């Protein structure tokens, strides 16, 4: 049940936005082995003057933040990072313009399915991948 947020400072076409969102989604499916229906991804476009980036970055600079259940292995995280880089590259975003941050949150800190702690719910998938 990842919660992904993609932030950019450039206007992308609707088709490109969908490719970027799909690229992050497919990377999550591959690396984290989440169910097919598990898709919560926000795409936020900032005016350049509202989103300052490190020197030397292009107008394609893209920040991807994903909040996940704690427990994924370093190998799953590596796969996630590399898959995002590869997938966003198909839209023309260079690896050096992609910054990825994972926020791991303990199961008891997620209120799901009517406000029940995720630690008390059968999630239907493994998180220790």
User: CA 125, CA 109: separation in Å to the nearest integer?
Assistant: 18
Q: How many residues are there in the chain?
A: 129
Give the total number of structural domains in the chain: 1
The predicted model scores a pTM of: 0.90
Task: Kindly state whether residue 85 falls inside one of the protein's structural domains.
Answer: yes
Given a cut of 80, is residue 116 above it in pLDDT? Answer: no
**Structural domain includes residue 128:** no
Domain membership of residue 125 (yes or no) is: no
Q: Span 116-126, mean pLDDT? A: 81
- 111 band by pLDDT with thresholds 50, 70 and 90: confident
The torsion region of residue 77 among left (phi > 0), alpha (psi -120 to 50) and beta comes to alpha
Structural domain contains residue 38: yes
- Give bridge partners of residue 69 from the DSSP assignment: 105
For the chain, what is the mean pLDDT?
93
For residue 129, tell me if it sits in a domain: no
Q: Which domain holds residue 30?
A: 3-120
17-68 tens-digit pLDDT: 999 999 999 999 999 999 888 899 999 999 999 999 999 999 999 999 999 9
Neighbouring residues of 49: CB distance < 8 A, sequence distance ≥ 6: none
Residue 126 falls inside a structural domain: no
Q: What is the CATH number of the domain that holds 57?
A: 3.30.429.10
In a domain, 127, yes or no: no
Residue 117 has a pLDDT of: 84
């Amino acid at each position: 049940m990842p919660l992904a947020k993609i932030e950019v400072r450039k206007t992308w076409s609707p088709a490109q936005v969908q490719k970027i969102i799909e690229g992050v989604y497919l990377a999550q499916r591959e690396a984290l082995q989440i169910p097919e229906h598990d898709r919560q991804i926000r795409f936020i476009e900032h005016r350049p003057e509202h989103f300052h980036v490190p020197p030397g970055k292009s107008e394609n600079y893209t920040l991807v933040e994903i909040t996940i259940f704690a427990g994924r292995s370093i190998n799953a995280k590596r796969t996630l990072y590399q898959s995002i880089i590869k997938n966003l590259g198909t839209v023309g975003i260079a690896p050096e313009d992609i910054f990825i941050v994972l926020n791991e949150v303990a199961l008891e800190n997620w209120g799901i399915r009517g406000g029940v702690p995720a630690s008390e719910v059968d999630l239907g998938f493994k998180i220790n991948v």
